[in-house]
Structure 1
């Protein structure tokens, strides 16, 4: 796992295209442009600016030279909050192999040691048991349920809310 690079745009567009159907039940409906190299290049550029200003930390999960997942600490808030939101996905061909668990555990350590965060939050659809297991293995605890939290697959859906505290 490493920080996203501008040169990842084509591989990321290909990964999203390859996983479009697989991710469709877990993500918002995306415009066609989302699956293009140009859209991904612009998004990577924006996220890298956020990284420079301390507002985000976008990561690529790679297997050899292949990009097989995205992990993102977003909305980093400093001051007394020191918190970020976590989102992620793993390529369907690599799902269920423990890669997401290992990646989230590494992100928790990076957030604590390198980024100096106090808290990471994440949410899952209520039926996304696999992602819930990933979060629990990384030390996250369920803190509630948000009704109609995000519009996923064309519907406002309830989400379980999780957090991990990184410092006592």
Structure 2
């Protein structure tokens, strides 16, 4: 597996990844909605524009044959901070890939992107996501709700 920064060439593979895993992801995080899938080429172009502007850093976890196994993103970059988000496809879950990919993105965040603090949130019942964050040095700093579900806030400096 290789972690790569998002490029235009990833567009079709990401759409396939999101489509294939839509129901799987919707079981633990809010669904992206039909509009996300209907006009994904425009969405992908917008992501690349945000990345070029430096407001976001998008990454994909790619297998040797070019299949997208996961995504790890740093969004809302401002004042030396960013919000971390990630998802690993059903066929790749349970192998430690999320933990490793998040570790790699944290290293990039601090060494390459010049960030000083990362934020993340996950619902209380998403034990896998909580474990990934804790394994990567995040600490719980508060509580919130995500789509009406109880959630925890995390940071890592």
Q: TM-score, normalised by structure 1?
A: 0.86
CA distance in structure 2 between the partners assigned to 1:54 and 1:11 by the alignment: 23
Would the aligned equivalents of 1:11 and 1:67 in 2 still touch at CA under 8 Å?
yes
Alignment correspondent of 2:5: 3
Alignment correspondent of 2:119: 121
Following superposition, the deviation at residue 150 of structure 1 comes to 2.3
Alignment correspondent of 1:51: 51
Would the aligned equivalents of 2:143 and 2:150 in 1 still touch at CA under 8 Å?
yes
Alignment correspondent of 1:95: 93
In the alignment, structure 1 segments of 5+ residues that lack a partner are none
Alignment correspondent of 1:12: 14
Alignment correspondent of 1:161: 153
Q: Which runs of 4+ in 1 moved over 4 A?
A: none
In the alignment, structure 2 segments of 5+ residues that lack a partner are none
Alignment correspondent of 1:31: 33
CA RMSD after TM alignment? 1.3
**Equivalent position SS for 1:93:** helix
Would the aligned equivalents of 2:36 and 2:43 in 1 still touch at CA under 8 Å?
no
Q: TM-score, normalised by structure 2?
A: 0.92
